[in-house]
Amino acid sequence: MKRLVICFLSLTLLLVFMVNCLANVVPLQEKKWLQKPDMIAGKNIESMNSEPIVADDWLCLDGRPVIGVHFWGSFIGWEEEYPQQPPIRPPEIKAFVIRIYEDAPIGGNDEFSHPGRLLYEVRVKDFTQEYYGTIPRPDETYEHKFFYTLNLPQPFWQRQGNVYWLSISAIMDDVPYPWGWETSCEHWRDFAVQGYTDLSNAWVWEKLEKMDMAFALTTCYSDAKWWQPPDVEAGVNIKSTEPEPIVADDWKCEEGKPVSEIHFWGSYIDWEEENPKPKKCPPGVDGFKIRIFENIPAGQNGFSHPGRLLYEAYIDNFVEEYFCSIPRHTIPETYEHKFHYIIYLKKPFKQIEGEIYWLSISAVKLVSPNIYPWGWETCNPNYHWEDYAVQGYQIGPDDVWRWEELEGKDMAFILTTPYEDPCEGDLDLDGDVDIDDLKKFARAYGSIKGEDPNYDPACDFYPDLDVDGSDLAIFAADYGRENCPCPSILPQ
C-alpha cells in the first residue's frame, strides 16, 4: 500500500513536470492517441461546419473513454506575409463541432475506409487557442499554426480494439479566412477524408491522399502498478533494438493483478543532436518487442538477470510523443531528445503476487535499423530497486541469452493494470451512479435526436440516436456503483 501511495504521488509530480517541460504539448491527462503536426511541410485542410468537414481514424487501445481532444489548425490565407507570429488577433471561432463515427472498412464499393454511423456529436464553445508556430511555404508565404484544447462535456465511451473516426469542424460568423485542420507527419492505417452532404443529407467522403490529421485524445489516469520515472537531468539511452542487443530491468508484483499497459521512455541515438529541440519528426520504429522473463537471483555471476521467457508480444500500435530534450554538456554541446511511449498488451500478462519478473523492451525497425538506433532511457537513480538493468545478446536458439549488468543503471517504465468495467451511468462524473444521474437519465428517456429537446447523447449509451430500453438496461446495471473509474476533471 505504501508503494502505491508513493506511485500516485510520483505520478502527480511527473505530470506537473510535464506541464512545465512540454510547452505546447498535450498536458496533464493520459494520452490515448497522438498524431503530431508536420512543422516542416504540413498544411491546413478546410474543415468548417458549413462544409466541408475533415475526419481521421484512430484505434481504441484499452477501452478507457475519451474525455479531451487536442488538435492543431490555422486560418487559410490569414496574415501570410508575416514570417513569425502576427501582431494582431486571429479570426474568431465561435465553437467547434466534434463528431465521432464508427468505422466503415474497405469492402464492396468502398475503395477506402471512411466514417460510418454517427456515434457522438457535441458543440463545444469552451476551448483554448494558443499560437504554436509558423512555417514557411515554397511560395515564400507563411502559415501560422495554433494549438487547441477542449474537454468533452460528456466522455465518449469506446470499446477496446475498435476503430473510430474523429471529425473536427469550426463554426465562425464571418469567414474571410476559413479554419483548417493541420496535417500530421505520422500515418496510421488509411488516410484522412473530407466530407460533403448530398441532396439527401447523407455524407459523401473523399480520400485525402497521403494526408493524416494532427490530433491527440486524452482519457482518465491509469493506476500505476510499478513506477520508475525517467532521469530528466543526466539520463542516457541504452541501445535496445532487434535482433540484439536488448535491455531488461526487474520489478516485483505486489498485488497480483495482470499487466495490461506499459509506459516507457526512449530516444534515437545521435538523432538531431545539434539542435536544442528537434526540428523534424522522429525516425520512428515499426513496433516494439515486449518480453517478460522469470527472475534468476544473484549467484556466482554476482547479479540477478532474466531467466526463462514467460511472455512475448510484438506491438505495432503504440503512442509516441516528444517528452523533452536534455543537453549532454559536450564540446560542442549536443542534445538528446526523449520520447514517451504507451503500448497496450492485447493479452495482459498474468503475474503472481510476490514474484520478481524482468521486462525487456526492444525496437523493431525494418528499414535501416542501424541509422539512429532506438535506445531505452534510464530512470531517476532515486528509484533504484533490487539489481541494476542488464543488456542481453542471444547466443542460442529458444531465447538463450548472455546477460551483462548495466552497472548503476535502471530503466524508465511504468506498468498499469487492466482498465475496469465502464461506468457509463455516471452522467454527472462525480465517481458514482446515484439519484442525480437517475434524474438526468429520466429526463432523456424516450427522446429521439432531432425530434425532442430532451434528447441527451450522454444517455444514448447504445448509440442509435434515441434513448430507449437498451440504454435503460445499461444504466440499471450501473446504478448504485460507487467505484466509477473516471470522475470528471472538469469544474462541476
pLDDT for 161 = 74
Which residue(s) pair with 249 in the sheet? 359
Nearest 5°: the CA angle 403, 404, 410 is: 105
User: H or E element: which one contains 192?
Assistant: none
Q: Which residues neighbour 62 within 8 Å (Cβ) at sequence distance 6 or greater?
A: 32, 160, 260, 261, 344, 418, 419
Q: Give the gyration radius of the chain's Cα atoms.
A: 24
Nearest to 381 by CA among 341, 352, 412: 412
- Kindly report whether the peptide bond that precedes residue 52 is cis, defined as omega within 30 degrees of 0: yes
Residue 116 has which C-alpha cell? 460510418
Instruction: Give the integer Cα–Cα distance in Å for 274 and 266.
Output: 18
- The cell numbers describing 453, all together, are 429537446
For residue 174, the model assigns a pLDDT of 79
C-alpha to C-alpha distance for 215 and 47, rounded to whole angstroms = 14
Q: Torsion angle, CA of 455/457/461/464, rounded to 10 degrees?
A: 70
292 contacts 358 by C-beta, under 8 angstroms: yes
Beta-carbon contacts of 222 under 8 Å, excluding residues fewer than 6 positions away, are 30, 64, 261, 263, 414, 416, 417, 419
10-residue mean pLDDT series, the chain (492 residues): 34 34 41 84 94 93 83 96 94 96 85 91 94 93 96 83 93 92 87 90 91 90 75 89 94 89 93 89 92 90 90 91 84 90 89 95 85 93 90 83 94 81 82 93 92 87 86 94 66 32
Give me the half-sphere count of Cα atoms (radius 13 Å) on the Cβ side of residue 192: 28
Q: How far is Cα 89 from Cα 359, in angstroms, rounded to an integer?
A: 50
- Phi/psi at 475 (5° precision): -65, -45
H-run or E-run covering 378:
none
Phi, psi of 21 (to 5 degrees): -85, -30
